[in-house]
Chain A
């Protein structure tokens, strides 16, 4: 899947071949390195990851139980100035998301004001009637948010997706930095980069600050994982370990005396804050999917009684599907009273007959995605698709238009990767990680850069051959 003939913005090199400001110091260092030595370093990185066990599991692949996400050792670099502008936009967007969630489950002012059609969330599978009229502890819905950004020019950053359920990837952000520092220690003494390593500490603090009233002074925080076979298990274990929190599975938990408690060697002990990495649907078999063994029977009753914090709150998925996404500029303006600092990618909702007509006429140019899809599955990239693929997709689209949105094929920015033939530009995106608590909003400088390793490819998802890079924000 590639998008030819697009004038793309390369973040390291200007069209005249000169190196952009963010990369000057790095380029100076790189020029001094021996290329054979650099190649050897690349191989070293892989064994480093294997040893520490940073693997991800791919669904539906028998032999692919543990795979590594390819790591590229050329960092993706933003200047401090670029980051400051960016983080203001992110903060604004996250504040709006949280206010939007509260409004949707309470007075629904935005619908009364006629700014958002009611059916958009009424038909939404992620909408939870159980959350209506309930305010989570501290008023926080989206404790951890990942905002996926793409860049199309020097100052043009656009939001591609809001991840308001359980965004993953933060462990790669942290381990990529550790790996880079282990591989190139002298580089970090030459170029000053803002650290990311306090994310787990901030996460622990942020979660503790959201504990329900009546919790102990030091609240008990636990990470709920679906278990070792989940694709992000490494991350769940990693975060629990780094936070000093228990890593629990559904089978460890039970509702005892009105609290969610975990089975310890000394009997059941209550949990105050549950950072769950289990989807809403599996959270409580008494309320949602009755066959789930990943959750805790009765946890929703405890939650609604205000005796546990669930992060992120159930029902936040309603804010991050692709149909709502199209309204995000409106939503930001409605709740913050400000113009959105970060733009959206233009989006056509195929549920709308005029948009559908427009999209059908231009299937060969557009990217069409499922509203509830993720991971780069089930999408059409028009410019890269064959006539037959487009025809097949047209049928799917016509059968259920409301299930799709379309976006223009963007000229995503590129950053070089290291290849045996030298540096080569590849498309990237960026997922910064945002923490929300009553004490405020914290954004770790940088985030996770995902990179499409195949030449010309626009798909950065790890499940589809994407890799990652260390993402730097310069301390300038």
Chain B
């Protein structure tokens, strides 16, 4: 397949995944802001914006941290170049440039998803309409992923689609965990308080993992076991371990197809060792923030290596 098309597919799925995760993060933030006081709500929205790397852009356009205002900025804000609507726009643009590499089902899912969100986000987001918009974003991404799963050949194209999806997901999961842990929970005074529990619950909700976690850890809610779950539990589809298992699988499929491995495989293997070769205690000994920071950098390096090895642009 063409390098340009591999690039288009890879990023199409990264954008779709990022849009979905952003919606999930906003939904959890919204819930948090509704159930806590004003101060906690403001802190919550600050942390959401920090996670998305948008705090500075937001504060240069807005004062105050009203939920609808923050969500509007993240979803469709003019001062936010990579808002969720534009992620869908870019995904659809890529789907068009790679039209002959995807099935009709996938094209229709992405095209209709974009049309739905374009209409839903045509006007400023209000509290009353926020739930509908966030649910729609998750649903449209889910439909696109389902169409991919159900209609695409398991070939090179699929491998790039999956590599993009899980590379992005690993990045997003690491960021969500990092910000919550680093910004909101350093003070030991909080540990075990109601706020502390709510914050951890919120991390899990941002990853759609609250039910799975509860099921596994009846009643327990502490940093270490949640980090263990989100980082190392390979059964949970948004954990770092799961993302890397899937990336390993897809990069291995590419190597089989092409008859050889390359620098991306090497980097991937070493990143994987730094991740799954560790226990949660070792990670905490190193420092969770430091660990996640290094993970995000390595993850990006894998992405760059894939782009270079498979001739995305040159």
Contacts and interface: CB of A to CB of B under 8 A. Distances in A.
B96 A251 contact: no
Interface in A217-268: 227-228, 233, 237-238, 240-241, 245-249, 251-252, 262-267
Nearest to B306: A265
A112 interface: no
B108 interface: yes
Nearest to A66: B96
A265 B311 contact: yes
Contact of A264 (B2, B93, B104): B2
A264 to B, nearest CB: 6
Contacts of B156: 265
B181 interface: no
B123 interface: no
A52 B108 contact: yes
A240 B254 CA distance: 24
A205 interface: no
A115 interface: no
B97 A50 contact: no
Interface in A24-61: 50-53
Interface in B20-34: none
B99 interface: yes
Contact of A51 (B2, B3, B99, B112): B112
B4 A263 contact: yes
Contact of B2 (A50, A237, A238, A248): A248
B245 interface: no
Nearest to A248: B2
B311 A247 contact: no
Contacts of B111: 51, 53
Nearest to A227: B97
A265 B310 contact: yes
B93 A249 contact: no
A266 B160 CA distance: 14
Interface string B78-105: 0000000000000001001101100010
B128 interface: no
A264 B160 CA distance: 13
Nearest to A246: B2
Contacts of A267: 311
A264 B108 contact: no
Given A50-B115, A51-B111, A228 B1 contact: no
Interface string B101-119: 0001001100110010000
B256 interface: no
Contact of A228 (B2, B93, B107): B93
Nearest to A223: B100
A252 B2 contact: yes
A252 B7 CA distance: 12
Given A51-B111, A264-B311, A265-B311, A240 B4 contact: no
Contacts of B100: 237, 240-241, 245-247
Contacts of B4: 249, 251-252, 263
A336 to B, nearest CB: 38
Contacts of B310: 265
Nearest to B102: A241
Nearest to A225: B97
Contact of B6 (A51, A52, A241, A265): A265
B93 A266 contact: no
A237 B96 contact: yes
A108 B53 CA distance: 69
A49 to B, nearest CB: 11
Count chain B CB atoms within 10 A of each CB in A51, A245, A262, A266 and give the residue with the most.
Answer: A266
Interface of B: 1-4, 6, 93, 96-97, 99-100, 104, 107-108, 111-112, 115, 156, 254, 258, 310-311, 314
Given A53-B99, A240-B99, 12 more contacts: A51-B111, A51-B112, A228-B93, A237-B96, A252-B3, A263-B2, A263-B4, A265-B1, A265-B2, A265-B6, A265-B311, A266-B258
21 contacts: A51-B112, A52-B108, A53-B99, A227-B97, A233-B96, A237-B96, A237-B100, A238-B99, A240-B99, A240-B100, A245-B100, A246-B1, A246-B2, A246-B100, A247-B99, A249-B4, A252-B2, A264-B2, A265-B1, A265-B6, A267-B311
Interface of A: 50-53, 227-228, 233, 237-238, 240-241, 245-249, 251-252, 262-267
| Top 8 A-B pairs, shortest CB-CB distance | A237-B99, A241-B100, A265-B310, A240-B100, A247-B100, A263-B3, A265-B6, A228-B97
